[in-house]
Chains A and B, each alone.
Chain A
């Protein structure tokens, strides 16, 4: 018998009796979406820019490039100074990656980012900037998981702030293996 079949046949001897799938009907706590999102993002160490939209983002990118930093933008209408390389490993020296956030979750500050080419982009960059449409904010994860796209062959990720760790004596250190900072431009 294959291992698969032996596992499935062992499951037939389970002592548990069938339990129905519960109805997930959590009421949404009425809260102002932008304010709640801003507060949540702050708790996960992200920084929110509410004013100026994509123009403000381009101004920020110009400033970064003027400092000689390497900026890769995958957001339409925002231009950096690096092109998408052939291999993912060549992204290792990117200082800032500008990516599109598809959906923001007010209750926890998480932003859905999906990536097909060079999936490592949101993680390998030293700093991450996400551009997020204000109308793409939802209240909670129940709404979020129903609205995100997760196409075949895709990596979709909820990003909540910069990478962090508290593995040494529980001292919070921002900047572990992924991006060391996260800025969000709402537009």
Chain B
């Protein structure tokens, strides 16, 4: 497994996926585990007769907010300030991290407890704070596991989904002193509870991500199952919440719609255990909200890419994606894997390969609770890569040739009849080495004697 998240070696998606696929038993296990989430999602969605109506509402209310974002962000800021919340704005990850560090430094914070936030992953905040002497403790169980294992998340909702319980057991044995060989999830979870309770009780500050920010209330909504965000935010006197500009919604009605689909689409639960609405700091405490752009306004300049900002980070598209399930979260050269990771990360992918980690099957688009047109966005990224002349897999070399070949009937007919002849008369063992990935995994096609056009000319010409 270490091969997959090491910094060395190729970062190209197909190369990483090839390594992941070598252990087929593990691929099957991974694919099945995630498909189980898809099945739970299907059951939860079926139980709501108005499911498709909710998806449409989710899509439209997010689109409405995005198209009035200036107004809603300003309203949100004003309402927050009226509630005693300090609001900060950050253009990029670096500025975000610096703002966080300044707040923490002012309060002489040595230990920060943190609940899940894909934004802080995107900003690479943890290593930055650690460099400045602050202990950052991820408190979501899955996040804690991968933090102890020194790995990034491999999924946005279930970050340690790629690890087997035996591996977690061994990790906890080494790092938390649990019994050797013990891998019972209940035992390991209780051990993590005890370990993290001590961290909650001694932290000087807490940070969470934001699922929704309610403009007309000046409140942030944080959803967890474990209660880690709330244990964190309500013990120390200092609470910080980081949010992308895309997290704002107009009002409680909008939040009501998204809260109905978020957990159902993520894990098949009717709602997360805790949906917490923070409308100001606790008595005698301080509450900060950091609003981050980090490339989002840039995406909004492109009509197609802009729609990816409707995403509510449920992870449903990862669970349904046949490629993600068989290539794992570490095969994508971006913090967020899977379809939504390609949609929001392809422009940062220096291998230019992630837009091609997709068959354009469209399942993600139909699963999405806010109707993000993921397959269209991914196809659009391919076009942008082609226009920027940054195609992967040798495509810029062979695609023009294919284009000319396909457009030339005579050339195609001549060479295809030669190919059919070769397939019919030459032994497979001779041909396979020349057929690349196709013949490596599949038998070569059984070639017919002639094309349909030839048959038609013979049998139907009038």
Contacts and interface: CB of A to CB of B under 8 A. Distances in A.
* Touch test A–B (CB under 8 Å): yes
Interface of A: 2-4, 6-8, 10-22, 24, 26-27, 29, 40, 43-44, 88-89, 92, 105, 107-110, 116-120, 122-124, 140-142, 144-146, 148, 150-171, 173, 175-179
A22 B91 contact: no
Contacts of A141: 256-257, 259-260, 271
B36 A144 contact: no
Interface stretch (B120-128, B223-231, B350-358, B400-408): B223-231
Given A109-B270, A163-B273, A17 B67 contact: yes
B462 interface: no
A157 B89 contact: no
B256 A155 contact: no
Determine chain A's interface SS by DSSP, over half rule.
loop
A76 to B, nearest CB: 21
Contacts of A168: 141, 145, 160, 163, 165, 168, 185, 188-189
Nearest to A10: B297
B279 A150 contact: yes
Contacts of A175: 189-190, 193
Contact of B68 (A18, A40, A92): A18
Given A19-B63, A21-B64, A177-B197, A157 B276 contact: yes
A129 B293 CA distance: 41
Interface in B150-172: 158-161, 163-165, 168
Contacts of B300: 10-11, 13-16
B293 to A, nearest CB: 5
Contacts of A117: 283
A53 B73 CA distance: 45
Interface stretch (B49-57, B360-368, B427-435, B443-451): B49-57
12 contacts: A16-B300, A17-B67, A19-B63, A20-B60, A22-B56, A26-B54, A155-B278, A155-B282, A157-B274, A160-B272, A161-B273, A171-B185
A135 to B, nearest CB: 21
A19 B58 CA distance: 13
B235 A89 contact: yes
B230 A154 contact: no
Query: Which 5 pairs from chain A and chain B are nearest by CB?
Result: A178-B227, A176-B226, A108-B270, A167-B142, A10-B297
B102 interface: no
Nearest to B74: A8
Interface in B260-308: 260, 267, 269-283, 291, 293, 297-298, 300-303, 306
Nearest to B99: A3
A105 B186 CA distance: 29
Contacts of B257: 24, 141-142
B89 A16 contact: no
Contacts of A145: 252-253, 255-256, 259
Interface string B61-76: 1011011111001100
A55 to B, nearest CB: 29
Q: Residue among B73, B282, B300 with the most chain A CB within 10 A?
A: B282
B301 to A, nearest CB: 5
Given A22-B60, A173-B189, A15 B226 contact: no
Given A140-B260, A155-B279, A169-B164, A176 B274 contact: no
A104 to B, nearest CB: 12
Nearest to A140: B260
B148 interface: no
A81 B275 CA distance: 29
B200 interface: yes
A116 to B, nearest CB: 7
Contacts of A11: 69-70, 245, 297, 300
A156 B277 CA distance: 5
Given A21-B250, A44-B269, A122-B230, 18 more contacts: A3-B293, A7-B291, A7-B297, A10-B298, A16-B306, A24-B57, A44-B270, A119-B234, A124-B235, A150-B219, A151-B279, A157-B230, A157-B276, A164-B226, A167-B140, A171-B185, A176-B228, A178-B230
Given A3-B89, A176-B225, A169 B185 contact: yes
A118 B234 CA distance: 7
A123 B83 contact: no
Contact of A164 (B159, B225, B256): B225
